[in-house]
Structure 1
Amino acid sequence: MKKLLSIIVAISITCGSFAQMGKVTSALSFIEQGLLDKAKEALDQALVNEKSKDNPKTWVAKGKLAQECFRSENPKFKAFYKDPLKEAMEAYEKALELDQKGSVEKQLKLSNTYVLLGNDFITQGVQRFEAQDFAGALQSFESNIKLASSDLYIGVADTGIFFNAGLAAYNGKMFDKAIPYFQKCADLKYEGPMPYFLIYNSYKEMKDMAKAEATLIKTFEQYPDNQDVILNLIDFYMSNDKLSEAFSYLNMAKSKDPNNYTLFWAEGVLYMKQEKYDEAIASLKKSIELKADEYNTQFNLGVCFYNKAVAMFQKANEIMDVPQYNAAINEANGVFIQAIPYFETAATLKKDDPDSLRNLKELYFRLRTVKPEFQAKYDEVVKKLENM
């Protein structure tokens, strides 16, 4: 009788266990049919039952359900989990933790689960990036990277995901997090010098100019023939008033690309910084010869003539002899007049910019007694500025 009772109890326990695992089986069937609400209901019961909540199959089922909720177009199903892919990954990890026989590991490998989940994370990362949720996008791409490093991931990790993770961090102004991802890409020579540029810009945003400079120099060592690298070096040294270094790379760039108008513009600006106006004028005129419709070059050449004339006026004021003084003033006015056509051209190239018009207003007013026709031009410019 006791033996019979024991058998009955054992059968009852087994049947109870099967009954709860039947919920998991039902959930998996509902998932296949797209009935995710019924699958969720069945699985929720299995996850709280003592007989099934620690069974690895239950957690594998939850992972599958969470993935399908992410993929679903139905808002109701999407709302089942706050972050379905995170829930899916954690569910698979829980299943592996509970698995004593290694069957789950084999199942996940055979079904390519980690690769498919990784692809879902990429999709989620792109969606979040496009929605400007850069922190969320970074989390998604990092989850893909984590999965790709697992032994359960059948395939090769995509270097592009490291780049995407870096871009998400960069756009989210998490520059300290962006740099290691870009460095990984740079080490693998992914996207050429672009990762280096992003590292450089990250350090600039972090106000670490020493590391920014070091990054550009390293980039030049890796890509010595890349003109963009050289231009970035020139820009960096110009911006930081390291003119000697700027000229060094500028001459290098001109030897590789002698007809690049930008290089002559940059050379002119460097000479202007040194107040070498004649050299600056020659360089800027060469730039205009190569490309006449560039606003910055036309405007800077006008500024160059203007500044040269101001310096000449200052020297003229030191002359005590009246005839010599008058001659010096006339010469300076002649240089002021030379600035006018370049400001006029700049004003036509960029009609909504008031800077050229303000300079013209001052020059026309200053020179209206030298050339009476400038009075009418002065009146015209004043009206344009009033209407802006």
Structure 2
Amino acid sequence: MRKILFILVMILSVSSVFAQKSKVTGAQNYLISGKLDKAKEAIDEGIQNEKCVDYPKAYLIKGKVYQGIFESPLPAYKNLERNPLDIAYAAYLKALELDQKGKMLKPVKIQMTNMIPDFTNEAVNCYNNKDYAGALFAFEKVLEIESMDLFKDNPVVDTAVIFNAGMAAQKAENFEKAIKYYKQSIDYNYGGAKTYAYLSKVLKANDNEKEAVEYIHKGFELFPNDSDMLVELINYYMFGGEPQKAADYLDKAIALDPNNASFYSAKGQLYDKMGELENAVAMYKKSIELDPGKFIPRYNLAIIEANKVSKHHKEVNEIMDAKKYNEALKVVYSEYEKVIPYFESALEVNPGEKNSLMILKEIYFKLRNQKELYLEKYNEVKAQLDSME
């Protein structure tokens, strides 16, 4: 009798295991027929049972189902899970972990090979949607897969992914990882001058000024005619208290690319900073000529003209003789009128720019008693600024 009971218990136990494993088989069949919703439902149910928790094939099928959800072009299936690729990846790793006989190596390798373009596409989508942390995560998954023992017979150094991981990390302000991946890119001679330029930026952002400068100069030595390196050197010296060196590199940059409006604008700012206003004006005008849509040279040109009049106004205010003062003040008012078009020009390319509006409001206020038009303009600009508060 006991023997019969024991046999019955064994039969029931085997039936239970078979029932749960049949869920896995069912999920596989649904997957083959393209019914991803049914496949997900079956594998989710089957894999939760204690009889399948250590069943490697269950995790292989789970990975395939969730990878299929990610790869599906149909929104109804794509929306079944928020992060299907991550779940698939974890399932494949679990299948390898539980595999005692090596049966999972070949099928998991096939799926992992397909995951490389999947994670790459995910990274690109995240990057384009400005989810830079998500892009970094996906790029790192590609690198992680490529470094697995599964691929040791055909090792891959995916330099493009390494570089893009650096860019994503930089955008995500994960400077430590950006430094790591840019340095790896340099080790593999990938990215040229751009890699040195980007690395110097993230090193500086990570408070490593000394190393940042070293990479700027090293990059310039290797790529002396590259505009990216020149821009980095120009910025470093322009804002680092050595304007003459910045000017030298700007001249080189202009010689390499004489139609680059940004270089002339930068040189205008440099002359501005050095107090060489006539040269600054010439550079700003050249920049506007090459690129009429640029705001900075238009605005800086307007500021120079406004400052000239403001300085003259202060000098006139020192005149004690009433008659001379009134005559001189008329000249100042006419000079203010000549400044107006400069700021209006800046606002044409950047409508609503607050600083330009605030300065125009002050000028219109000064001129409000000269012409009724300026009082009207003052009220218009004041109302515009008030609406921005």
TM superposition score normalised by structure 1: 0.71
Q: Deviations over 1:318-348 (max 9, x none)?
A: 999x9xxx89x97x99799678646514413
| Map of 1:183 onto structure 2 | 183
| Map of 2:381 onto structure 1 | 385
Q: Deviations over 1:67-114 (max 9, x none)?
A: 2343454757854x66433332232223223333323213334xx211
SS in 1 for 2:104: helix
Structure 1: state its 5+ residue gaps: none
2:135·2:168 contact (CA, 8 Å) conserved in 1? yes
User: Using the alignment, how far apart are the partners of 1:265 and 1:77 within structure 2?
Assistant: 48
Q: Residue type of the partner of 2:381?
A: L
| Map of 1:54 onto structure 2 | 54
Out of 375-384 and 309-318, give the one that drifted further: 309-318
| Map of 1:148 onto structure 2 | 146
User: Using the alignment, how far apart are the partners of 1:38 and 1:75 within structure 2?
Assistant: 14
Q: Report whether the alignment pairs 1:217 with 2:238.
A: no
User: Using the alignment, how far apart are the partners of 1:124 and 1:194 within structure 2?
Assistant: 24
Q: Residue type of the partner of 1:159?
A: T
SS in 2 for 1:152: helix
| Map of 1:139 onto structure 2 | 137
1:243·1:270 contact (CA, 8 Å) conserved in 2? yes
2:23·2:45 contact (CA, 8 Å) conserved in 1? no
2:299·2:343 contact (CA, 8 Å) conserved in 1? yes
| Map of 1:113 onto structure 2 | 111
1:308·1:335 contact (CA, 8 Å) conserved in 2? no
Q: Deviations over 1:273-329 (max 9, x none)?
A: 222334434544555666677543344334334545666787899999x9xxx89x9
Describe the shift of the 1:87–1:333 C-alpha distance in structure 2 as closer, same or farther (beyond 3 A).
same
1:268·1:280 contact (CA, 8 Å) conserved in 2? yes
User: Using the alignment, how far apart are the partners of 1:292 and 1:74 within structure 2?
Assistant: 45
Q: Spell out the pairing of 1:298-313 with structure 2 (5 A cutoff).
A: 298-307=298-307
1:57·1:95 contact (CA, 8 Å) conserved in 2? yes
Out of 16-25 and 217-226, give the one that drifted further: 16-25
Superposed displacement of residue 227, structure 1 = 2.3
User: Using the alignment, how far apart are the partners of 1:55 and 1:294 within structure 2?
Assistant: 64
| Map of 1:273 onto structure 2 | 273
Q: Spell out the pairing of 1:311-322 with structure 2 (5 A cutoff).
A: none
1:295·1:346 contact (CA, 8 Å) conserved in 2? no
Q: Spell out the pairing of 1:318-357 with structure 2 (5 A cutoff).
A: 341=338, 343-351=340-348, 352=351, 353=353, 355-356=355-356
Describe the shift of the 1:82–1:279 C-alpha distance in structure 2 as closer, same or farther (beyond 3 A).
closer
User: Using the alignment, how far apart are the partners of 1:131 and 1:289 within structure 2?
Assistant: 35
Q: Spell out the pairing of 1:92-111 with structure 2 (5 A cutoff).
A: 92-109=92-109
SS in 2 for 1:34: coil
Superposed displacement of residue 362, structure 1 = 5.7
The CA RMSD over aligned residues, in Å, is 4.6
2:343·2:360 contact (CA, 8 Å) conserved in 1? no
Q: Residue type of the partner of 2:160?
A: G
Q: Residue type of the partner of 1:246?
A: A
2:194·2:229 contact (CA, 8 Å) conserved in 1? no
Describe the shift of the 1:104–1:247 C-alpha distance in structure 2 as closer, same or farther (beyond 3 A).
same
Q: Report whether the alignment pairs 1:41 with 2:39.
A: no
Describe the shift of the 1:309–1:85 C-alpha distance in structure 2 as closer, same or farther (beyond 3 A).
closer
Structure 2: state its 5+ residue gaps: 385-389
1:124·1:137 contact (CA, 8 Å) conserved in 2? yes
SS in 1 for 2:252: helix
Give aligned pairs, total: 368
User: Using the alignment, how far apart are the partners of 2:133 and 2:258 within structure 1?
Assistant: 44
1:124·1:140 contact (CA, 8 Å) conserved in 2? yes
User: Using the alignment, how far apart are the partners of 1:39 and 1:305 within structure 2?
Assistant: 69
1:220·1:229 contact (CA, 8 Å) conserved in 2? yes
Superposed displacement of residue 13, structure 1 = 10
Q: Deviations over 1:179-235 (max 9, x none)?
A: 323333444454544444443443454455445444433432333212243234323
1:302·1:339 contact (CA, 8 Å) conserved in 2? no
User: Using the alignment, how far apart are the partners of 1:30 and 1:296 within structure 2?
Assistant: 61
User: Using the alignment, how far apart are the partners of 1:115 and 1:167 within structure 2?
Assistant: 24
SS in 1 for 2:148: coil
| Map of 1:162 onto structure 2 | 162
User: Using the alignment, how far apart are the partners of 1:134 and 1:217 within structure 2?
Assistant: 29
User: Using the alignment, how far apart are the partners of 1:247 and 1:215 within structure 2?
Assistant: 20
Describe the shift of the 1:255–1:16 C-alpha distance in structure 2 as closer, same or farther (beyond 3 A).
same
SS in 1 for 2:230: helix
In terms of Rg, which structure is larger? Answer: 1
User: Using the alignment, how far apart are the partners of 2:111 and 2:339 within structure 1?
Assistant: 66
| Map of 2:387 onto structure 1 | none
User: Using the alignment, how far apart are the partners of 1:193 and 1:261 within structure 2?
Assistant: 21
Q: Deviations over 1:147-203 (max 9, x none)?
A: 111242478454333344334433333233233233334444545444444434434
User: Using the alignment, how far apart are the partners of 1:283 and 1:23 within structure 2?
Assistant: 74
Superposed displacement of residue 146, structure 1 = 0.8
User: Using the alignment, how far apart are the partners of 2:336 and 2:167 within structure 1?
Assistant: 44
| Map of 2:90 onto structure 1 | 90
Superposed displacement of residue 145, structure 1 = 1.6
1:344·1:360 contact (CA, 8 Å) conserved in 2? no
| Map of 1:246 onto structure 2 | 246
User: Using the alignment, how far apart are the partners of 1:367 and 1:22 within structure 2?
Assistant: 88
Superposed displacement of residue 130, structure 1 = 5.0
